[in-house]
Structure 1
């Protein structure tokens, strides 16, 4: 056996004694599920939360697209109506233009006859 000087003996308490509290803690750790399962449960909860959020977002996006499609449809109907109104106005303007050209031509002929009668 080796002889230990007295100073080193004070610093070296010898083999560590396990207390009952430490034994219970160790036993509870051995019985408890591994930490990976807790992480999986947390991941599963996070995944469920993500699915719920995705489903809500998908519903909101669908509603927004539906509203957008309705607005586009209404706008297209208004545009079609305005285009038809403009086409009708254009037809009316062309009709008036043709009428005025005819009147001008008729008036020109009348003035030429009057001029011819005066010059005779």
Structure 2
């Protein structure tokens, strides 16, 4: 509601300032009131202190990011090292199990061979 009132007031002012000009209400709404009377807007040039402040801010941000990155890298290296140690331990354990399985296989093959020889001897005595 307040926006409509402000819009109406600015339209009336623009219409009074533009006596004799033929603008439509849409053009009047788009044209700011007192446009011809307002001074041109000056652009501020960045001062040396502002540049130094932004450079200092950049350096501080960069240093903080560098510290954070170093901390994350150290944590990653620590986790990676722990995982490598766990993997090495598991590999040694698996190698031990494999060696034990190979020894058991060899033992069972020897027992099988000995059993065949014994059965062969028994078979010869029964037949012969």
- Partner residue of 1:109? 117
CA RMSD of aligned residues (A): 1.1
- Partner residue of 1:69? 77
Mark the runs of 5 or more structure 1 residues left unpaired by the alignment: 1-34
Mark the runs of 5 or more structure 2 residues left unpaired by the alignment: 1-43
- Partner residue of 2:23? none
- Number of residue pairs matched by the alignment: 85
Q: What are the equivalent positions in structure 2 for 1:1-16 lying under 5 Å apart?
A: none
- Partner residue of 1:92? 100
Check if 1:81 corresponds to 2:89.
Answer: yes
Q: How far apart are 1:118 and its partner, in Å?
A: 1.0
Q: What are the equivalent positions in structure 2 for 1:23-34 lying under 5 Å apart?
A: none
Summarize deviations over 1:23-73 as a string: whole Å, max 9, x none: xxxxxxxxxxxx75x522111111100000000000000000000000000
Which entry has the higher C-alpha Rg, 1 or 2? 1
Which structure has more relative contact order (CA 8 Å, sep 6+)? It is: 2
Q: Which runs of 4+ in 1 moved over 6 A?
A: none
| Alignment match of 1:60 (pick from 37, 61, 68) | 68
Name the structure with the higher helix share.
1
- Partner residue of 1:20? none
Tell me the TM-score normalised to structure 2 length.
Answer: 0.64
Secondary structure in 1 matching 2:47: helix
Summarize deviations over 1:85-112 as a string: whole Å, max 9, x none: 0000001000100000000000000010
